[in-house]
Amino acid sequence: MQILLPLGACIPAPYLWPKPPLCGKRAIMTETPRSAPTLTAILVAAGTGSRSGQHAPKQYSLLAGRAVIAHSWAALAAHPAIGRIIVVIGAGQEDMARTALASVTDTPILITGGATRRDSVRAALEFLERDAGNGAILVHDAARPLLPVGVIDRLIAALDHHEGAIPVLPVADTLVWDDDAMMGDAVERAPLRRVQTPQAFRFETLLRAHLSCPADIPITDDAGLLREIGIPVALVEGDAMLEKLTYPDDFARMQALLCAGRTARTGMGYDVHRLVEGKPLWLCGVEIPHSHGLSGHSDADVAIHALVDALLGALAEGDIGSHFPPSDPQWKGAPSHLFLSFARERVAARNGIISHVDVTLICEAPKVGPHREAMRVRLAELLEIPLPAVSVKATTTERLGFAGRREGIAAQAVATLLVPAL
């Protein structure tokens, strides 16, 4: 086990989903908790997600403008009973994890897990064993990013009377045995349940189960370990929102869920700065080798300035000058990425999603083509959106006007947002 950062704090986040419908079975507990003990959540994110069809491990893939793991972390942090979150990552994933979680916390508690899910959870338990007061634990898969608050409430209530509890859903489809690619006998589905996470346990009970069970038993979750040592596990009502991201189609469906109830908003921005000798040239957050740079109160990144105006315009929240007036000395020489990060945070504060941005640079020189991909990558990093959602292009004025005379550079930007409908 490698402890990457044994410090951290949880922050609230706006993921409070509606209470799900009842499953209709008396065996499933649905009462609300009478008390809310402080819980520690273990967020399991050490897998590779090889079936997801994503370019990166699925927990770090973007979903509605935010990494999957960040959605899961934010949903856990939103619950007042959860005091801290331990994130278990795969070997070599520290940089990806910190980048993915940057939008929800600056101080994640990261622990390197093992080769299997069980190894990863055990690593977290052994880390927590040094602390006093570990009363209750939630173990949650990072690949289940849509976590309704009601599920956590029901798990907490179940721990008033049980050592462990899991959320489940009834099985709706007809089930049959596969008889050599032919339909076999039907399986009685009435008593069957689909198991989800998070799963809740008393800390000492879960640790004992991990330490007691042989390593080679074919058990796929923590609740199975409790059953293996003879400890009953309560069932609580799950939620269809808790579907696990496994295959490429799962991402498309969840993207549609996150974007439901939102409306498209478009903003436009335009800026221009004079070219002068003796200054560095910044465009789209990238320093470009050139004989001249742009003059302005900040670093005069004309492309970012136009993009900030486009984002603020889509929100109807003024322009860059109203938030960062040139008359304020604190912005003298400031890097323009600070302004873009502010605009991104304003979108997030409105529970919005940056769907696409398009920047056009208007200049005779320098040539933008050799730097276009670096510019796109930098803007995608600053906006925390997928690279395909960023367009950078350039044009000239056929040597007409100030740009044609190489006196300055202009930029136009368009930003498309998805924001909750008014």
| Closest to 60 in 3D by CA, of 251, 284, 253, 346 | 251
Sign of the dihedral through C-alpha 186, 190, 191, 194: positive
Q: What is the DSSP letter of 29?
A: B
Query: Mind listing the pLDDT tens digit for each residue in 20-44?
Result: 332 333 334 444 444 444 899 999 9
Using CA atoms, how far apart are residues 419 and 317, in angstroms rounded to an integer?
Answer: 14
Is the domain 2-259 a CATH 3.90.550.10 member?
yes
* Fold agreement between 2-259 and 262-420: no
Residue pointed to by tokens 């008593």: 191
Q: What is the pLDDT of residue 189?
A: 92
Per residue in 292-329, pLDDT (tens digit) is 999 988 999 999 999 999 999 999 999 999 999 888 88
Q: For the chain, how many residues are written? A: 422
Q: Are 183 and 212 in contact (CB under 8 A)?
A: no
What are the tokens at 121?
């959870």
Listing DSSP states for 53-81 in one string gives: --SS-GGGSEETTEEHHHHHHHHHHTSTT
8 Å CB contact between 41 and 85? yes
Q: How far apart are CA 283 and CA 163, in angstroms?
A: 58
Q: Which residues contact 15 (CB under 8 A, 6 or more apart)?
A: 71, 74, 75, 78, 146, 147, 149
pLDDT band at 398 (very low <50, low <70, confident <90, very high): very high
Q: For residue 190, what are its two tokens?
A: 């009435």
DSSP assignment letter at 330? G
Q: How far is the C-alpha of 16 from the C-alpha of 178, rounded, in Å?
A: 40
Task: Judge contact between 148 and 242, C-beta under 8 A.
Answer: yes
Query: pLDDT tens digits for 226-272?
Result: 999 999 999 999 999 999 998 888 888 888 888 777 889 999 999 99
Domain boundaries, the chain: 2-259, 262-420
Does residue 275 have a pLDDT over 90? yes
φ, ψ of residue 383 in degrees (nearest 5): -90, -10
* pLDDT digits 0-9 by tens, 378-395: 999 899 887 888 999 999
**For the CA atoms of 378, 382, 387, 390, what is the dihedral angle to 10 degrees?**
-90
Q: How many CB atoms lie within 10 A of CB 81?
A: 18
0.85 cut: is pTM over it? no
Which of 212, 1, 181 has its CA nearest to residue 86? 1
d(CA 305, CA 323): 12
Q: Report whether pLDDT(212) > 60.
A: yes
Burial of 194 (0-12, 13-18, 19+ CB in 10 A): middle
Best CATH choice for the domain 262-420 from the list 2.60.200.20, 3.40.50.150, 3.40.718.10, 3.30.1330.50? 3.30.1330.50
CB 303 within 8 A of CB 411: yes
